[in-house]
Structure 1
Amino acid sequence: MTDIETEQTSDRGVKKELRRMRKAQRLRNRELMLLLFAILLTIGSFVLVQFGALGGVDQSILYVVAAMCALALAVHIVLRFRASQADPFLVPVALLLTGLGTAMIYRIDLAQDTSAGLHQLMYAMLSIALCAVLVWALRNHRVLFRYTYIFGLTGVVLLILPFIPFLNGGGNATVWIRIAGFNFQPGEIAKICLAIFFAGYLVRTRESLTSTGKRILGFTFPRAREFGPLLVIWLVSMGIIVAQRDLGTGMLIFGMFVAMLYVATGKTGWVLIGVTLAGAGAVAATFVMPYVHGRFDAWIHAFDDELYNDPAGGSFQLVNGLFGLAHGGMFGTGLGQGRPHLTPVANSDYIIPSLGEELGLVGLFAILALYLVFVSRGAHIGVAGQDDFGKLLAVGLSFTLALQVFIMVGGVTRVIPLTGLTTPFLAAGGSSLLANWLIVAILLRVSDAVRRQPRAVIG
């Protein structure tokens, strides 16, 4: 190679690096603008809640909100130095959802004289800080692939922890552990560990899963030997439902595995088998387990007087949530001016009806649009990547969040039976919030790696 050719190659490399730096700058500037808008809406929500419920402003809570927003800006700064090519929409959307959720939880506190809102803000600060730490420490998401089976084992251990007598946190469902006076739901972290395990397992076994199969009615169905993993996951999901009385987590884990299996193999037959097994499991649980039967009964006969007035549960909560949504109408009563606290656990399971009452149908659609943006960005990250492990991980985590939103919104609006899950980012619950912000960190890392690949293009 001559000196002229060497100089031309060097110039091309410099120009390419300059283009990459300018693109990274645009991405981070876009993120900063969106983040400032999310911060404005978050602080504005707390101010409106106080004016609506109290007629004035209590500045003490606003200092805590400002600290939470400052931590989100810290994540932005970390991204500028550590992951400059990361997706610019994930952090602003996650912060806005978290801000709206904590504002509504705080609003319910004002009506019930509780402190769940302040606790949620503390958990939000911890979660956002851990998100920044993970983005800083995890230089390459491919490192997770090396520990596929360790993450699988960790996920199983986390699901088992609530059965240990001195750790069990109580409650109707065996899903909580209590350590040093704090309750924690290990299943929230377990779903991330299992997503990493599923992604690694499917990358290693994809060839055997896609090699052969019988074609029936236009669909390719897997052989019996490949059918084994799906059957095992189905049995594990059913075991969770039975042992922990946790219908939601079982559905979530099984749905995540089927979705990732379809992305890995491209076989529609896997989806049909998964839906069939899920339906069969739900029907079996309805007949065998009284609490699942009660959920279905309250769903189908919600407005029966006997069920509505049942002191053991019945449909009182579900119907009150529907009344709250109806009271909100198209534009809502206004933050701080509704009565969401009349519905039991309005700050947790029924955070969607609470927001729907005070923000109305328009506000609720805006929240669902935020979820749609978050999930679509996560799925786009996976599709654009050339790394199979990153693709499956990003799609799996995004689908899990989408499925969780569908299950909760569908449950409180009586589209499907209600299950025991939390609405991501919105509902009260420190373990759920922590897990969701860790998902944000992983997706940021994957998106940064995708954009650094030669042919990866994400808008």
Structure 2
Amino acid sequence: MSALRPEENAPSRVAEAVLIVVALALGMGGMWMVGYSLEDSLPEGFWTYSIVLAALAFTAHIVLRLRAPYADQVILPSVVLLNSVSMATILRQDLVDIDGANASRHLMWTALGIVVACVVLFVIKDHRSLRRLTYTAMIVGIVLVILPLVPGLGREINGAQIWIFIGPFSAQPAEFAKIAFAVFFAGYLVANRDTLALAGKKFMGLQLPRLRDLGPILIVWAVSLAVLIGEKDLGTSLLFFGLFVGMLYLATDRVGWIVIGLVMFAGGAVAAWSIFTHVQLRVNIWLDALNPDLMDGPSYQLVQGLFAMSYGGMFGAGWGEGYPQYVPFAFSDFIYASLGEELGLTGLLAILLIYLVIVQRGLRHAVGVRDGFGKLLAGGLAFVMALQLFVVVGGITRVIPLTGLTLPFMAQGGSSLLANWIVIALMLRISDAARRPSALPTRGALADPAPAAVGGGAIEVGGGSPVQAETEAGAGGGTMPEDSTQIIRGVDR
């Protein structure tokens, strides 16, 4: 494939800028309609919010085009759209709350998130450099998960101990732990995918791993159970364990790992339910939310959210015409219910479609990038966003028990916004490597003797014999066995 001159990438820059303008227009239109619906005028702070959002979005666009010129041109506008619509929703709630200042805080954390994302794009010139931090990332992730359990540092809020407080500042470490775990899993699986995919005995059609290969998954299982039991947080527990099992499947293409993972998680969850009362309460709320004994207490928030979405119907009550003040935490945990009340089922499906676009683009670049670590990291980051979306929406709609996770980019929350903007920055960095013509090296590229596959076997380049894989370049690597049954050809865009 011939190299492209930099100016030949200009249409993608224009397309991204146009999409950002559309995204900002939709968010500003929402704020405008909220103001005229409630006050018959532009809402207070309309121009401040609009100008700051526009400045932040185009700053990110410029940084992206300078530091990663071949990066995906759809992901950033999609995230800007979600942030803009959430600003309209949170501003609408502030207008009926005398002490409401959530819109200002949401804008502040959005600004900080975009700044951090730009810093990540400047600092990380090649995503493969993260592979050197494989086991460091594991330690960081475990420490972050344990922090809320430290006496005097962690604090229980709304039944879950997932927050830490340092003076006037608070944070939810699990949001950052998921990024650290994704880096660790990608590095570990690239180095060990062949033994995980091929070694071991078969039992009832399943490829069972060797006992020594179960070490990392047992550690993650134990950490997930510790989160579930000690922090009373079913959502984070499911998120961590689901991330590892999902990335195991991406790396090995073995259904057996999914079966083993589901059995282990189900066994741990059943054991926790039989022992701990707070887990039993969450399950009871899920199964019998309309029970009169629960509606005025534990299930009040869930029931009010269901009533709000029911009131919205197919097309919603309209911006500013709902009653978000009756849904506790409608600006954060239950912002999805607030959106459903005013935008209806149609609006909720449109929002889910935007998330689907982000996840699809992430998975697409996981296929397109030329190294195994990048494939697994991009796939893991896209998968964890999809899983978090399912856990949040599933809890609010009673598909699964309610959890304490927040909707990425939309819920008002500093930790969530910061962490998810970092995820987007890493996705964009990997997409730049995936879309960059092979004749043009990545900025500061590391030595990469051959592209690596997500599957557990050798890669066949141009129909030739299997070559030594990229796994030698990172932690604990080795050559791929020549008898591997999975041969994946490189992607030629």
Bucket of the pairwise TM-score, normalised by the shorter protein: over 0.9
Amino acid paired to 1:123: W
* Residue 184 (structure 1) aligned with residue 171 (structure 2): yes
How many residue pairs get aligned? The number is 440
Amino acid paired to 2:106: Q
Instruction: Return the match for 1:151 from 134, 137, 149.
Output: 137
Listed as ranges, the gaps of 5+ residues in structure 1 are: 1-11
Q: Helix, strand or coil for the counterpart of 2:96?
A: helix
The corresponding residue for 1:452 is: 436
Instruction: Return the match for 1:430 from 414, 422, 425.
Output: 414
Q: CA RMSD in A?
A: 1.7
Amino acid paired to 2:123: A
Q: How far off is 1:26 after superposition?
A: 2.2
Instruction: Return the match for 1:45 from 23, 27, 30.
Output: 30
In 2, the alpha carbon distance for the partners of 1:386 and 1:235 equals: 33
Instruction: Return the match for 1:102 from 77, 87, 106.
Output: 87
Runs of 4+ in 1 over 4 A off after TM superposition: 455-458
The corresponding residue for 1:207 is: 194
Using the TM superposition, name which of 368-377 and 274-283 deviates more: 274-283
The corresponding residue for 2:253 is: 266
Q: How far off is 1:413 after superposition?
A: 0.7
Q: Helix, strand or coil for the counterpart of 1:112?
A: coil
The corresponding residue for 2:477 is: none
* Residue 413 (structure 1) aligned with residue 397 (structure 2): yes
The corresponding residue for 2:285 is: 298
Q: How far off is 1:61 after superposition?
A: 3.7
Distance 1:446 1:208, change over 3 A: same
* Residue 361 (structure 1) aligned with residue 345 (structure 2): yes
Q: How far off is 1:230 after superposition?
A: 1.6
- 1:70-219 aligned at under 5 Å gives the runs 70-113=55-98, 114-171=100-157, 172-219=159-206
Distance 1:373 1:360, change over 3 A: same
Using the TM superposition, name which of 220-229 and 179-188 deviates more: 220-229
Distance 1:453 1:167, change over 3 A: farther
Task: Say if 1:325 and 1:360, in contact at 8 Å, map to a contact too.
Answer: yes
Q: Helix, strand or coil for the counterpart of 1:111?
A: coil
- 1:280-291 aligned at under 5 Å gives the runs 280-291=267-278
In 1, the alpha carbon distance for the partners of 2:291 and 2:144 equals: 39
Distance 1:457 1:115, change over 3 A: farther
Instruction: Return the match for 1:341 from 311, 317, 325.
Output: 325
The corresponding residue for 2:14 is: 29
Using the TM superposition, name which of 150-159 and 352-361 deviates more: 150-159
Amino acid paired to 1:45: G
In 1, the alpha carbon distance for the partners of 2:492 and 2:396 equals: 38
Q: Helix, strand or coil for the counterpart of 2:95?
A: helix
The corresponding residue for 2:376 is: 392
Task: Say if 1:324 and 1:353, in contact at 8 Å, map to a contact too.
Answer: yes
In 2, the alpha carbon distance for the partners of 1:263 and 1:120 equals: 35
Task: Say if 1:43 and 1:65, in contact at 8 Å, map to a contact too.
Answer: yes
Please state which structure has a larger fraction of its residues in helix: 1
Instruction: Return the match for 1:60 from 45, 70, 73.
Output: 45
Q: How far off is 1:186 after superposition?
A: 1.3
Task: Say if 1:221 and 1:267, in contact at 8 Å, map to a contact too.
Answer: no
Q: Helix, strand or coil for the counterpart of 1:222?
A: coil
Task: Say if 1:303 and 1:319, in contact at 8 Å, map to a contact too.
Answer: yes
Q: TM-score with structure 1 length normalisation? A: 0.92
In 2, the alpha carbon distance for the partners of 1:268 and 1:366 equals: 32
Q: Helix, strand or coil for the counterpart of 1:423?
A: coil
Q: How far off is 1:180 after superposition?
A: 4.0
Using the TM superposition, name which of 269-278 and 169-178 deviates more: 169-178
Q: How far off is 1:59 after superposition?
A: 5.0
The corresponding residue for 1:251 is: 238
Q: How far off is 1:351 after superposition?
A: 0.8
In 2, the alpha carbon distance for the partners of 1:125 and 1:195 equals: 25
The corresponding residue for 2:225 is: 238
In 1, the alpha carbon distance for the partners of 2:163 and 2:54 equals: 29
In 1, the alpha carbon distance for the partners of 2:161 and 2:379 equals: 29
Q: Helix, strand or coil for the counterpart of 1:147?
A: helix
Using the TM superposition, name which of 368-377 and 275-284 deviates more: 275-284
Q: Helix, strand or coil for the counterpart of 1:176?
A: strand
Q: TM-score with structure 2 length normalisation? A: 0.86
In 1, the alpha carbon distance for the partners of 2:63 and 2:56 equals: 10
Instruction: Return the match for 1:442 from 410, 426, 442.
Output: 426
Task: Say if 1:173 and 1:246, in contact at 8 Å, map to a contact too.
Answer: yes
Q: How far off is 1:228 after superposition?
A: 2.8
Distance 1:258 1:20, change over 3 A: farther
Q: How far off is 1:63 after superposition?
A: 1.2
In 2, the alpha carbon distance for the partners of 1:56 and 1:243 equals: 49
1:275-304 deviation per Cα after TM superposition (whole angstroms, max 9, x unaligned) = 111222222222211111111101111111
Amino acid paired to 2:279: V
Using the TM superposition, name which of 103-112 and 247-256 deviates more: 103-112
In 2, the alpha carbon distance for the partners of 1:170 and 1:62 equals: 38
In 1, the alpha carbon distance for the partners of 2:215 and 2:138 equals: 17
The corresponding residue for 1:277 is: 264
The corresponding residue for 1:6 is: none
Using the TM superposition, name which of 155-164 and 145-154 deviates more: 155-164
1:40-82 deviation per Cα after TM superposition (whole angstroms, max 9, x unaligned) = 1111111111122222113524313321221111111112211
Task: Say if 1:352 and 1:409, in contact at 8 Å, map to a contact too.
Answer: yes
